């Protein structure tokens, strides 16, 4: 199925970014979008409608001028106006809160346009232009595309020749001569203008992001935070003697048994010992090593738990049940995305399969010294 091509642009007061980018895409890339979407302010929408759409204005003139017969959808419904936290359309972006609202709208639009297609719908091929609007809007568009962009998506800026750039009457290089006036009274022929497409490479982080981030609705700041947590190195620090731990600065508490189990796994990893291998065919696995860890860190285990471990050892069902409880505690404290990167699970390490933490995690135990051994 042929991807649906979408041009997404951000703009402020001047809607020329649409026609300039469309002209460059047609002439340099032979790329004609099926649809154009514009993210702007209330004033920006008014200007876009008046200058590009009403009375067969410059958008339609460009298509006619260059013989584009393919349908390119661009109407008022394709213009997304940035709204504040109360749902009011913003005339302009003047405060930090306005900028935050713009970031949220841009991020959510990029997430939606790059999401997996629903059944019966074609996938999209997205081209994002960051040439218009305030500088922060362009930054947000580029950053969001870096987070959500796929291999087929592109990012660009347009470069317009001197004197024509930012001229209120210039929209694209026309095929026939058309004269416009400069502020100092000089005449410019729009057919002699030059518009170039500057494609901007960007780092695609999509494949490294958790699925919940790609599917859920988050504010821009939450997206950045979650993306950072999902891509940064994870550092797990245990403080077993007070029942606390921290992961990249976010703290939580565990029961004595959960802390003993986690400390046991961490100590084995730090000592380059094999992971905790599962019990096979009811094989008896002594619990002495786990109980020794609990004793060394003054972790007060329930008497019945201690007796069961001494008598029955570590069974498969006991291990799976308590690993599940430990992982649930991590999710509750850290959230699903960060917890996913430090969960205890069945893994293959070297030629051994067993229960262990991810091998890319940085581990440390406070209070673990040679004297304790």
The 10 Å Cβ neighbour count of residue 192 is 13
pLDDT of residue 183: 82
pLDDT of residue 75: 96
> Between helices 288-296 and 256-270, what is the axis angle to 10°?
110
pLDDT of residue 120: 53
pLDDT of residue 341: 84
- ∠ CA 260-263-266 to the nearest 5 degrees? 155
The CA–CA distances, whole Å, from 305 to 133, 165, 284, 313, 346 equal 64, 76, 17, 10, 23
Q: How far apart are CA 157 and CA 7, in angstroms?
A: 12
Beta 250-253 vs 244-247: how paired, if at all? antiparallel
pLDDT of residue 207: 80
Q: How far apart are CA 200 and CA 187, in angstroms?
A: 33
Average pLDDT per run of 10 along the chain, which is 373 residues long? 91 92 96 97 95 93 95 96 91 91 93 77 87 87 94 95 91 94 88 95 84 78 79 89 90 95 95 85 84 95 94 91 95 84 86 87 78 41
Closest CA to 357 of 370, 369, 340: 340
CA 342 to chain centroid, in Å, comes to 20
Structural domains in the chain, sorted by start = 4-228 (no CATH), 234-372 (1.10.10.10)
Q: How far apart are CA 111 and CA 145, in angstroms?
A: 8
Per residue, the 3-state secondary structure of 240-275, as one string, reads HHHCEEEECCEEEECCHHHHHHHHHHHHHHHCCCCC
The 10 Å Cβ neighbour count of residue 361 is 16
Per residue, the 3-state secondary structure of the chain, as one string, reads CCCEEEEEEECCCCCHHHHHHHHHHHHHHCCCCCEEEEEECHHHHHHHHHHHHCCCCHHHHHHHHCCCCCCCECCHHHEEECECCCCCECCCCCCHHHHHHHHHHHHHHHHHHCCCCCCCCCCEEEEEECCCCCHHHHHHHHHHHHHHCCCCCEEEEEEECCCCCCCCCCCCCCCCCCEEECCCCCEEEHHHCCEEEEECCCCCCHHHCCHHHHHCCCCHHHHHHHHHHHHCCEEEEEEHHHCEEEECCEEEECCHHHHHHHHHHHHHHHCCCCCECCCCCCCCCCCHHHHHHHHHCCCCCCHHHHHHHHHHCCCHHHHHHHHHHHHHHHHHHHCHHHHHCCCCEEEEECCEEEEECCCCEEEEECCCCHHHC
Q: What pairs with residue 39 in β-bridges?
A: 10, 80
Q: How far apart are CA 234 and CA 343, in angstroms?
A: 11
pLDDT of residue 122: 63
pLDDT of residue 121: 61
């Amino acid at each position: 199925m042929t991807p649906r091509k979408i041009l997404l642009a951000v703009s402020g007061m001047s809607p020329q970014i649409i026609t300039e980018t469309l002209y460059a895409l047609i002439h340099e890339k032979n790329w004609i979008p099926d649809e154009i979407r514009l993210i702007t302010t209330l004033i920006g929408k008014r200007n876009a409608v008046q200058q590009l759409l009403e009375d067969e204005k410059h958008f339609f003139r460009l298509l006619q001028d260059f013989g584009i017969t393919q349908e390119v959808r661009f109407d008022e419904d394709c213009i997304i106006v940035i709204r504040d936290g109360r749902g009011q359309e913003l005339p302009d972006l003047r405060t930090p809160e306005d900028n935050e609202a713009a970031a949220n709208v841009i991020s959510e639009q990029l997430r939606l346009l790059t999401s997996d297609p629903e059944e019966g719908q074609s996938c999209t091929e997205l081209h994002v232009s960051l040439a218009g609007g305030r500088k922060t809007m362009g930054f947000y568009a580029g950053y969001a595309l870096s987070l959500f962009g796929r291999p087929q998506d592109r990012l660009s800026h347009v470069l317009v020749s001197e004197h024509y750039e930012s001229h209120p009457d210039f929209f694209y290089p026309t095929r026939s001569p058309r004269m416009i006036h400069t502020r100092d009274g000089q005449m410019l022929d729009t057919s002699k203008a030059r518009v170039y497409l500057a494609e901007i490479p960007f780092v695609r982080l999509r494949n490294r992001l958790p699925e919940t981030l790609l599917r859920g609705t988050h504010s821009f700041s939450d997206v950045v935070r979650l993306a950072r947590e999902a891509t940064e190195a994870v550092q797990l620090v245990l403080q077993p003697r007070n029942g606390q731990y921290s992961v990249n600065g976010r703290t939580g508490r565990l029961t004595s048994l959960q802390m003993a189990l986690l400390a046991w796994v961490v100590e084995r990893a730090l000592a380059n010992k094999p992971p905790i291998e599962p019990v096979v065919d009811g094989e008896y696995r002594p619990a002495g090593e786990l109980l020794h860890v609990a004793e060394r860190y003054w972790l007060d285990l329930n008497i019945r738990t201690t007796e069961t471990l001494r008598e029955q050892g570590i069974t498969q069902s006991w291990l799976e049940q308590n690993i599940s409880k430990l992982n649930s505690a991590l999710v509750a404290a850290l959230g699903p995305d960060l917890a996913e990167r430090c969960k205890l699970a069945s893994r293959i390490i070297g030629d051994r399969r067993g229960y262990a933490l991810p091998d890319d995690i940085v581990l440390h135990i406070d209070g673990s010294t040679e004297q304790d051994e």
